[in-house]
Structure 1
């Protein structure tokens, strides 16, 4: 009995010492974070801390988001995955481009401009197997996420899925929202020098507007107002792709809507210059200059065209002079 009592006493002492060590143990970094985070789903699998609030409604389902993110393991101050070293932030389509379940669910709780931290348990991250050699099995991971822009591409997908007849029954305001989203997509691609992708977005938007059955002059005016910036963007994109003939085509389409549009005149001037049709380029730019006499882009291009015209005339004079010399020489013989 006494022996058993002694052993029990020793065990109680050991358990007490273990409890003391546990109670005095410094909490791990993730444990400290948990104390200031909110439970997104209610099961403790996704915890969130808002570092910088955003604006507007949460990210909609099937949207595309322009996002920066970095993923960290506990006790590591260097990310195992990050987009912050990219020249251009990533545009990611929800339901397609995000392979981490927790990351997509977390993004759906965010607003435009928001910066937040998420702590994902393994079932919402890389699971029991992990992702060797970088992510060990059953590892919790921390992600820092910033939403830079939101494009409601789900709305575009839903509209494009409709047949032509159904599209014509949709309110014009919804069509214009879809067109504006496509143009924003195109602008993002253009700013990243992805000109072919930008052109595809702009042309998709113009096709949707072209197929709309207009019910009134007011509706026609709204459609032309939406078409004008698309034609201007397409003209500039074709110039970047070194297709001046197509750039001229879209520049002229813009002028059909607004004959006094200086951007359209400037685009046509650029296209004619690339086509080496200097007099036509000069004609467009002179009209544009008359409307905006202090525009440096117009004035600089006009000077360039004038120089090209002069050089071209000089070359022609040289050719004629040589022809005349050759002719005189042959007559003497």
Structure 2
């Protein structure tokens, strides 16, 4: 049974939510400190301390800048925002777009320094994963300006960090901060409560509801990636209810609405297999079968075959589904291995049935002999 569950994880790659959702994130972690890449024409060389001291430890703890932050800002550009002063200098350019959603989970390394102090007051050489909205406002603004794989330095105004009072004695009043950071990766995690802000009237309009449902589908995938399958099921079911209650204005909207619904049903069948809710999975597949043709949808056929193999003594339906899927994708290792396991289960069940009938006949024969 556990093998069945492990295989389902691979289905996620085959599921696409209207080409709007990401399929996941692959973190490529580099433990090398950013201070090693700093332009020596602008930043002073870190040469103090014991030469035998661990180099990585030095990079984490020692500030790359010994002069005033005012001089450092001359080599930086201001990050556009309405909240306060944040200056930035890029060390290594990143890739892709910057994050454009408040619901992002980021993975980064960082060190933070106060002006005139050589040691970092907070740092992490190992990548840290955090929800962006949980960061201090200044760090949020800095993170929002970064691309994936980007390395940069920021000078952040004290008003966006620890305020006028600070937190003595560790954080002095009106303390600007030098942030040295590398954005390993980030992913939009969506919002499962996106529809809560809509009025009842807006919820009935597909054109208004559409973007909110996309946020919910992103959250469903985020729950799935983190193995929170029951939460994913709840989000998916809520999204389906909202979609089924809304009204479409034309045929194009109806087609798009049905596409969203089908995608949600497909993902829910995978979640239900992960929670071993075999009967509900089959019910969901039957609903999907009523809505659309699933005879060429290999992930759905595989989910149904796995569910059926756990609730039926006769494995014929499960085997037929897997053989049809095998015809569509002959080199699909997941389908092939699942078929082999179901065939093995069928053979074991057949032998057990034969043994049971053989023993029953032996008992009957002895009873008949005693009567005679």
Equivalent residues, number: 295
> How far 1:33 sits from its partner (Å)?
4.1
Residue 260 (structure 2) pairs with residue 210 (structure 1)? no
What is the RMSD computed on CA atoms of the aligned residues? 3.4
1:28 to 66, 88, 92: 66
**Larger helix proportion of the pair:** 1
Q: TM-score, normalised by structure 1?
A: 0.73
Instruction: Choose from 62, 65, 70 the match for 2:104.
Output: 65
| Residue 362 (structure 2) pairs with residue 321 (structure 1) | no
CA contact under 8 A between 1:67 and 1:145: conserved in structure 2? no
Q: Do the aligned residues in 1 keep the contact of 2:278 with 2:308 (CA within 8 Å)? A: yes
State the alpha-carbon separation in 2 of the partners of residues 29 and 153 from structure 1.
Answer: 42
Q: Unaligned regions of 5+ residues in structure 1, if any?
A: 1-25
Q: Conserved in 2, the CA contact under 8 Å of 1:190 and 1:198? A: yes
How far did 1:262 drift?
2.0
Q: Deviations over 1:162-192 (max 9, x none)?
A: 2333223352xx5433333322222222222
Q: CA deviation at 1:216?
A: 4.5
Q: TM-score, normalised by structure 2?
A: 0.67
Aligned residue in 1 for 2:346: 309
Q: 1:57, CA displacement in angstroms?
A: 6.9
Query: In structure 2, what is the Cα distance between the partners aligned to 1:215 and 1:140?
Result: 53
Aligned counterparts of 1:105 and 1:149: Cα–Cα separation in 2? 14
1:128 Cα deviation after fit:
5.0
| Offset at residue 306 of structure 1 (A) | 1.0
2:275 to 234, 237, 241: 241
d(CA) in 2 for partners of 1:187, 1:175? 19
State whether residues 103 and 190 of structure 2, in contact with CA within 8 Å, keep that contact through their aligned partners in structure 1: yes
- Counterpart residue number, 1:15: none
Paired with 1:193 and 1:29, the residues of 2 have a C-alpha distance of: 48
Shift of 1:199: 2.5
Corresponding residue of 1:80: 122
Distance 1:160 1:128, change over 3 A: closer
Paired with 2:221 and 2:119, the residues of 1 have a C-alpha distance of 37
What is the match of residue 289 of structure 1? 326
- Whole-angstrom CA distance in 1 between matches of 2:125 and 2:105: 11
Q: Secondary structure at the match of 1:50?
A: strand
Distance 1:284 1:85, change over 3 A: same
The more displaced of 189-198 and 231-240 is 189-198
User: What residue in structure 2 maps to residue 8 of structure 1?
Assistant: none
Say which of 253, 265, 288 aligns to 2:301: 265
Q: Secondary structure at the match of 1:234?
A: helix
Paired position in structure 2 for 1:46: 86
